[in-house]
Chains A and B, each alone.
Chain A
Amino acid sequence: MRVRNIEKEGHVRTPDYAKGKPGRIAEILGTFPNPESLAYGGDGLPEKSLYKVGFRQTDLWDSYGGSPEDILFIDIYEHWLEPREQSGEENQT
């Protein structure tokens, strides 16, 4: 999969540096109230699935100086993920 590369204002739990980056789902962590709703007094419903996504450090940073085996995990909610082949400008609706 890939992290959706979209701009969204406010209380968003997807770090900017991961946007548009390819990763692999390492684990399904469960469902949680949507923090983007909770933060503004919403009920957080429907709950969102949370995935532990692994990124190769060399995919995140062009100048990564460590081992190509190094990995970085981010917990990302389902609505921030898209299949890898669907990414690209033509699908950013």
Chain B
Amino acid sequence: MSNKGHDHPHEEPQHERSPWAARIRAIEELLVEEGVFTKEEVKAQVEYMESRTYENGARLVARAWVDPAFKKRLLSDTKAAAAELDIDATGPIEFVTVENTDEVHNVIVCTLCSCYPRAILGRPPDWYKSFAYRSRVVVEPREVLREFGLELPEDKRIAVHDSSADIRYLVLPQRPGGTEGMAEDELAALVTRDSLIGTDVARTEQEVGRV
């Protein structure tokens, strides 16, 4: 799409014309003009982001389920464990994986903005950035999870992680029962994006609809 100066063509998609998009575009153009970065670098960064999806997290989880030594490494050094699966999470951001157990269920939020392990999972879902989720899940996590369709046992503790500093968190969900014979890639298919945030659990097809 040709986009010289500020004369945007009229056939651009609707979201391109939102005030926020226009503002971002204007700032981007100024920064390119000032030589802070190039258009190519912006494009490369967008492509980097688009290339990451929650399926990376699903692969990490499935490997951890079948390989206890890998699970140990994932919990102690997520970045290094990701590198083992050719998931490039290098950079200044640190990652920590928290493990769901019979005793505790973890759920991730960033109350201050939308911190998320993007280098591994890609972009967060829109609801993750919503004021409602961010403000409510810290105050009434059990109710919020219930609204996501996740009814936790009464005796299971909930640990909320407000990741508003330099660490990005992901959840290692529990392996569903009845999956003993499944291959690693089949197991990965049970891991949903939301189960990596903690607003869902991993479940088999038989379990979908009941927890």
For the complex, what is the distance from the CA of A29 to the CA of B55, rounded to whole Å?
27
Interface size on B, residues (CB 8 A): 23
Contacts of B96 in A (CB 8 A): 29
Could you tell me if B139 and A71 are in contact, using CB atoms closer than 8 angstroms?
no
A7 CA to B33 CA in the complex, in Å? 38
- Interface members, chain A 4-45 (any B CB < 8 Å): 13, 15, 17, 29-30, 32, 35
In the complex, A17 Cα to B138 Cα: how many Å? 10
Q: How far is the CA of A48 from the CA of B163 in the complex (A)?
A: 16
Within 8 A of B (CB), among A32-63: 32, 35, 50, 52, 57, 60-61
> Can you add 20 more A-B contacts, CB < 8 Å, to A52-B167, A71-B159, A72-B161?
A13-B165, A15-B162, A15-B164, A17-B111, A17-B138, A29-B166, A32-B166, A50-B167, A64-B139, A65-B140, A65-B142, A65-B143, A70-B142, A70-B158, A71-B157, A72-B159, A74-B164, A75-B162, A75-B164, A77-B165
Interface, chain B (partner A; CB < 8 A): 94, 96, 111-112, 138-143, 154-155, 157-167
Shortest beta-carbon contacts, A-B, top 9? A75-B165, A72-B160, A32-B166, A74-B162, A69-B157, A70-B158, A73-B161, A13-B165, A66-B142
Residue numbers of A with Cβ under 8 A of B are: 13, 15, 17, 29-30, 32, 35, 50, 52, 57, 60-61, 64-67, 69-77
